[in-house]
Structure 1
Amino acid sequence: MKTIFCEIHLPHIRHNFRLLQQRAGHTRIVGVVKADAYGHGDVPVALCLQSEGCTHFAVARVHEGIKLRKAGIHGDILIMSGSFPNEFAALREFNLTTVVYCEENIEEMVREGISVPVHIKINTGMNRLGFRPDRLPWVYRTLTEAGFAVRGIMTHMACADEPGSPTIGAQENLFYRSLEPYFQEGMLGHLSNSAGIFTLDNLGSLARPGIMLYGGNPFADKTVDLRPAMTFKTKILQVKRVFPGEGISYGHSFVADREMLVATVAAGYADGYSRLLSNKARVLVNGQYAPQVGRVCMDMSMVDVTHIQPARGDEVVLFGEQRGQCIYASELAELMGTIDYEVFCGISPRVKRIYTGA
């Protein structure tokens, strides 16, 4: 019996992929499935995207790429955080493409005598990883002379989700000026994340949407027809009466001011339902909104169901849809002072993922 689980609706991921590919035109969409596909399950999502014609995938770590290869992903798999010497043999064995972003990384690869496909990352303003653009001639020459196949040049946008930001144009212009001397048939140039598909003038050869594949929207304007793929569900463990003056949960941060019907539900911060949501969030019970009350515990939390009168075992939706009503992950993110990326990625491995519409 499933007490708490995430339902992943694969047709919504298919829809989002098609929408983004249509928007991107001739630019090929990369399926960004790092961090277990933002908590949605990397293998099921990658196989779903592969069946839609996706030929390029991106992860952060080498072990993520190996997992995809073993699961039957045939396309190019890009390791965006690069690799260390103890991982070089696996790059070759599993035909993985690594990103190179610093001189020490090049020295390691040349010293180890490994020859694998690489993408060069340049830093155009994110200041996270990458070579300064003026170092690109040296990087390209050093890699090609050492026998590496330079398949692509990339960067990452810092403010693509802020339409009108001058940083967008500045990074885009610097990237394409830097890329121009090296552009040739087959060379991939890419800089766009989810938001960039809608704010950049030139998307390049590839675009790397992450959050939008899963139905998250980085913009305040929610007019894009994205469909959230995940619904976070649990069950009621107990329904009880609480009387005026009685406190609920640790520290009695909530004290009843009237007689209430309170449901204890099987969801806590060990499941990824953050303690920061205490006395702030709402859930769906039998198609009606119910406020969360008291501090969220490790395995449980409480909700006010006085107006609903549910029973033990009834379904509770923490975010997602139920009977025509919806709580978006972005609503929880705002209450937590974060972004929906973190909400998705923070759901614990002990929460089973169930796939529908395969």
Structure 2
Amino acid sequence: MNLVQIPSRHRPAARRPAVGEPAGLSEAVVDLSAVRDNVRTFRRLVPQGVLAVVKADAFGHGAVPVARAAVDAGATWLGVARADEALQLRADGLTVPILTWLYDAAELMLLGDVDVDVSISTIAELHHVVSNPSVHHVHLKLDTGLHRSGSAPGQWIELTRTAAHYEALGALTVRGIWSHLSHGDAADAVQSRRQLELLRTGVVLARRAGLRPGVVHLANSAGAITLDAPDCDLVRIGAGLYGIDEVGLGLRPAMRLMSKLAQVRRIRAGEGVSYGHDFVADRDTTVALVPLGYADGIPRVASGQASVLCRAVRMPVIGRIAMDQFVVDAGDLPVEPGELVTIFGDGSHGEPTAQDWADWAGTIPHEIYCGLGSRVPRRYEEAAR
């Protein structure tokens, strides 16, 4: 096939995107001022320090920009799940204390070299850390009821005594003791209080072993509000950082997902749309193509339930959501390719929210955010209030 170069004088002039319009087909816009506002909300409501959880690329929002915004707003710690996430933050200049809780023995030296705190749940993990003398600070984790990680209560005394022995030798410093709530809302306050009491007992035993942890932490975003724990030094905010408002604090969602109509066509009554023709038009109507699909994190299971906002009108998603695209019913609106579509936002303009998509997909908004794929560029802004 011969490729023909079009002379520049015949090429169409490139159109600059309008303000708020994606530069390409689609993008996720992250309002860092919302992240700051959410951190400040927690700082205003709770006396403890704030550990901002930016694992999983900050729930898909972008770990480094979100971490910087959180620290700027007063977060004094950062938390990540995996070692590579901690290393990325250090490589990009974040200097506040960082805690990571999933790592292997081979990663310990790298973590120690950049002064990242690691969590320890077992004697075996403790020995691994001691054998890598570059690691200085650890947090001992007690399983108080989540039963996912952490020391079993029956092994806690041995763990704390062994840690105290190594600390006396100068091999490490136990900087924190922590656990994780299995329930976070007010309806499960009894379970959360039970976990808090177990953690308090664990701290007493650790102190008897000779440890003097600088921080004790248990509460997640919801627990920070619903659990009265003045003896804890930190609250860990993950969901709340991104505006997932589980207890009605007035938090601001930080992300909106935007796209443009890629194609528009008119179909007749009786014609089907997308694979299997799950949708068949009951009238003549205009359908439009949105260039996002389940490869980008749009949940396929939401087919036939979801909607998007275009021209200030909610347009239902019709037919099956495909890998790269889905179709919406525009009715008789005279839409054209290139028109702006909001898949989700904070709902202030009538658009769906991430919670709406979570409801349609039978999941939680955390998964909607984390599921956004790498083909969706992230753009950062500071929205005026």
TM-score range, shorter chain: over 0.9
- Equivalent of 2:310, from 282, 285, 288? 285
Measured against aligned partners, the alpha-carbon deviations of 1:183-214 in whole angstroms (never above 9, x if no partner) come to 57652110000110111110510100101110
Are 1:41 and 2:62 matched, yes or no?
Answer: yes
Kept in 2: contact 1:283–1:318 (CA 8 A): yes
Which residue of 2 is the match for residue 80 of structure 1? 101
Written as runs of structure 1 = structure 2, the 5 A alignment for 1:1-358 is 1-25=23-47, 27-81=48-102, 83-113=103-133, 115-146=135-166, 147-182=171-206, 187-202=214-229, 204-219=232-247, 223-321=248-346, 324-357=349-382
AA of the residue aligned to 1:258: R
Distance in 2, Cα, partners of 1:95 & 1:115: 7
Kept in 2: contact 1:84–1:105 (CA 8 A): no
Q: How far 1:113 moved relative to its partner?
A: 4.7
AA of the residue aligned to 2:201: R
Kept in 1: contact 2:308–2:351 (CA 8 A): no
Measured against aligned partners, the alpha-carbon deviations of 1:314-339 in whole angstroms (never above 9, x if no partner) come to 11111115772231111111111110
AA of the residue aligned to 1:36: D
Computing the radius of gyration from Cα coordinates, the structure with the larger value is 2
Percent identical among aligned pairs is 35
Measured against aligned partners, the alpha-carbon deviations of 1:229-264 in whole angstroms (never above 9, x if no partner) come to 000011101111111111100111101111011111
Q: How far 1:3 moved relative to its partner?
A: 1.0
Distance in 1, Cα, partners of 2:104 & 2:212: 29
Larger deviation, residues 46-55 vs 205-214: 46-55
Larger deviation, residues 106-115 vs 330-339: 106-115
Gaps of 5+ in 2: 1-22
TM-score by length of 2: 0.88
The 3 A distance-change label for structure 1 pair 141 and 298 is same
Distance in 2, Cα, partners of 1:323 & 1:45: 22
AA of the residue aligned to 1:49: A
Distance in 2, Cα, partners of 1:72 & 1:303: 43
| SS at structure 2 position matched to 1:195 | helix
TM-score by length of 1: 0.94
Measured against aligned partners, the alpha-carbon deviations of 1:109-142 in whole angstroms (never above 9, x if no partner) come to 2344554210000100000001123422221221
AA of the residue aligned to 1:148: L
Q: How far 1:178 moved relative to its partner?
A: 1.7
Gaps of 5+ in 1: none
